[in-house]
Chains A and B, each alone.
Chain A
Amino acid sequence: MAPDLAILEQDLRRTYERARLWRGLGAALVAAPVAVLAVVLSENSMATAAWGSALFLLLAAYWWRGEAAGKAALPGLAAGLPAFCCAITGDLLGHQCVDGVCVSWCTPLCAAGGALSGFLLVRIARTQRLPMAAVALAAVPVLLMGVMGCSCGGYGGLAAMGGAFGALALPGLLLLLRK
C-alpha cells in the first residue's frame, strides 16, 4: 500500500525540525568555553551563568532557525570575543591607584572591548556581505558576551560597553547601507 503523502510530509517536517534543533544545540556548544570561563572568573557567578545560558540558547535558536539568524550566529560570536576578553582582563586587573586616586580597569576596558567588537562586526559584515538583518541579529550575541564579562563594572561598565559598541557599529553599518 502506498504511504499517505500528507502524513509522510508531516513526519518529514518533524524529522527536519528535530534534526535542525539538535544541530543547533550541538553547534551552540562553541559558546560553552566562553561561558565557563566567564563563570569561573566572575564574582557574581550566578548572574554570569544565566547570561551564558542565554547566549547558548540564543545561538542554538539562531542555528535552528537558519537564514539570516543562522548567518548571524558565528559572526556575532566572533565579534563578541573582544568585548568579552577586554572585560575579563579588566576584571582580572582590578584597579590601579596613583597618588591616592584609584581607578578601576573594568569600565574603560569594557568600553574599549565594546568599541573593538563594533569595529569587528562592521568588518565581518563587509567582508562576508552579510544582509542587514543578519548584522542586526549578530549584535545580540555580541552584547550578551560583553554583558557576561562586564559584570565587574556594574551598570556603568555595561553602559560603557554598549555605548562604545553602538558608537562604532552604527556609523559603520550606515556606511555599508549607503554603499
Chain B
Amino acid sequence: MQDNRRNGLDELLARLADGDREAFRPLFLAAWPVVRDYCRRALGDGFDADDAAQQAMHKLFEQASDYDASRPAIAWMLAIAAWECRTIRRKHSRSRRTGMDGLLNAEAAGPSPEEEAIACDLVAALREVRGGLRPEDQAALRQAFDDLEEECGPVSPAQRKRKERALNRLRAAWRMIHGS
C-alpha cells in the first residue's frame, strides 16, 4: 500500500516535471496530505503548520520541473517540507530573541524598585556567606572585588591564585546554605 503510494507519487511528479498538466491535480491531491501531516507533526496543529505546508507546496510545484526522476518523490517532498518547518521555527526563535533584546534594553534604562530589592537581598546573602569564610579568604575576596576593581591595575599571580581559592570556598559555602 505504502509502496504503491510512493510509486504513484514518483510517477506523478515525473510526469509533471515533463510538462504533463494532467498529472497536476492527482499530484496535488496526493501530496497535500503528506506535506500537511509532516508539518503538523513537526510544528503541532495550528497556523504555523498550515503556513509551512502551504509554503512547502508552493516550493514543490515551483521546483517540480527540476525534479530528478531517479530520486524518490516522497523524500524530495519531505525535504522541502522539513526546510519550511525549520524556517518557521527559526523565525519564531528570532522573534523570541528580539523580545529578549527588548527586555535587555529596558534593563539598560535602569533597575525597577523590585529589581533593586532583589539585588539588595542577594548582596546581603553574599555578605552573610562571605562572613562565614576564613579571614584570609575574606581579605582575598575583598581585595579582588573591591580594591582591585577600583584600581584596575595589573594583578599578581599570587593574588589571582588567592582570589581563585577564596572564590571556590565562597561557592562551596553558598551551595551549602542556598543550594544552587
Contacts and interface: CB of A to CB of B under 8 A. Distances in A.
**Do A and B come together as binding partners?**
yes
Interface of A: 1-3, 5, 8-9, 11-13, 15-16, 18-20, 23, 64-67, 69-70
A36 B58 CA distance: 36
Interface stretch (B19-27, B115-123, B134-142, B165-173): B19-27
A3 B50 contact: yes
Contacts, number: 50
30 contacts: A1-B47, A1-B50, A2-B50, A3-B50, A3-B54, A5-B32, A8-B32, A8-B54, A9-B25, A11-B58, A12-B24, A12-B57, A13-B24, A15-B58, A15-B62, A16-B16, A16-B24, A19-B62, A19-B63, A19-B65, A20-B65, A23-B65, A23-B66, A64-B19, A65-B19, A66-B19, A66-B65, A67-B18, A70-B18, A70-B19
B19 A16 contact: no
B64 interface: yes
Interface string B6-31: 00000000001011100011001000
Given A3-B50, A5-B32, A19 B61 contact: yes
A26 to B, nearest CB: 11
Contacts of B57: 8, 12
Interface in B51-77: 54, 57-58, 61-66
Contacts of A2: 50
A66 B62 contact: no
Contacts of A8: 32, 54, 57
A171 B77 CA distance: 46
Nearest to A69: B19
Interface of B: 16, 18-20, 24-25, 28, 32, 47, 50, 54, 57-58, 61-66
Q: DSSP class of A's interface residues: helix, strand, loop or mixed?
A: helix
Contact of A12 (B19, B47, B58): B58
Contacts of B47: 1
Contacts of B25: 9
Residue from the set B19, B47, B58 with the largest chain A CB neighbour count within 10 Å: B19
B32 to A, nearest CB: 7
Contacts of A23: 65-66
Nearest to A19: B62
A128 B66 CA distance: 20
B50 A9 contact: no
A66 B18 contact: yes
B19 to A, nearest CB: 1
